[in-house]
Amino acid sequence: MLNNMINFTYFGSSRLSVIVLDELLKLNFKPRLIVTTKDKPQGRKLEVKPNIVKSWAIEHNIPVIDDLKNIPKEGNELFIVASYGKIIPNEIIELPKYKTLNIHPSLLPRYRGASPLPTAILEDTKKTGVTIMQLDSEMDHGSIVAQREISLTDHFKDWPTYEVFEEFMAKEGAKLLAEIMPDWVAEKIIPKEQDHSKAIYTKKIVKEDGLVDLNSNDPYLTFRKIQAYHEWPVAYFFIERDGKQIRVKITEAEFEKAKGDETRSLIIKKVIPEGKKEMSFQSFKQGYLK
């Protein structure tokens, strides 16, 4: 049976948003309204299509809007935000009776900003977590409602790809939200202000960040870059062939002991040379690095 006692509106626009929605639904929490971003051109043909969150809302027969101006001004109990991707004006944040909560995949005030998950991988932060925060007008600045620390070594042998890490953290965030939401609307939780002096900000990832040096003296960092940038921009290197620079994307790698080795090393498994299909790294070496 769905938990219909909590009347909440959900803001989101990404795959992480959908993972949270799926998990909340499993835990018997269903939003009465979903707010997402406007339809945009997608794919090679640039066809205008709804984003993944709008498609999810339609599939589950939940009303969906893509303009903040259309949010009802009355009857709002609680807003939940998970990877919405746009600034929400303060007058909307303050609109619901029980204000606005945000799921953030880090232990705030650490890793505020655009890229908490890739940054955790890049910095080899094995102890991380999720935060439920009361949203305010500043980026990832609001008071903490709940946090859960997570030791990645309890769940993964080594760093997974970004997509796997994102799914795991989104589900953990949804579970924590579902646990505390009843107490939050019952006003049993007092939010705690963050220690802003300890804030660490993450940067927006750009395409150039994906460039790696296969001859680096820190192969473990190269491995973490491959995992962190697996979805985008995808780690890559260049080779020269017939006087041309060819970009080669790395799509699968491990950091393991090779046969006869005592220490772990970077093992590239699959790549995509520019203009070609994915192939094993062994086939790539035979065809390109003779």
Report the pLDDT value the prediction gives residue 50, as an integer from 0 to 100.
85
How many beta carbons lie within 10 A of that of residue 117, not counting itself? 22
Residues 122-132 have pLDDT tens digits of: 999 999 999 99
Residues 40-87 have pLDDT tens digits of: 776 676 676 789 999 999 999 999 999 999 999 999 999 999 999 899
Residues 98-151 have pLDDT tens digits of: 999 999 999 999 999 999 999 999 999 999 999 999 999 999 999 999 999 999
Report the pLDDT value the prediction gives residue 289, as an integer from 0 to 100.
75
Q: Report residue 174 as tokens.
A: 């949804």
Cα gap 172→164, rounded to integer Å? 13
| Beta strand ranges found along the chain (DSSP E) | 8-11, 33-35, 40-42, 47-49, 64-65, 78-81, 100-104, 112-113, 127-134, 144-151, 201-202, 236-241, 244-257, 264-273, 279-280
Chain centroid offset of residue 134 CA? 19
Q: Is 227 buried (19+), middle (13-18) or exposed (0-12) by CB count in 10 A?
A: buried
Cα gap 145→131, rounded to integer Å? 8
Beta-carbon contacts of 95 under 8 Å, excluding residues fewer than 6 positions away, are 71, 73, 76, 79
Domains of the chain: 8-202 (3.40.50.170), 207-288 (3.10.25.10)
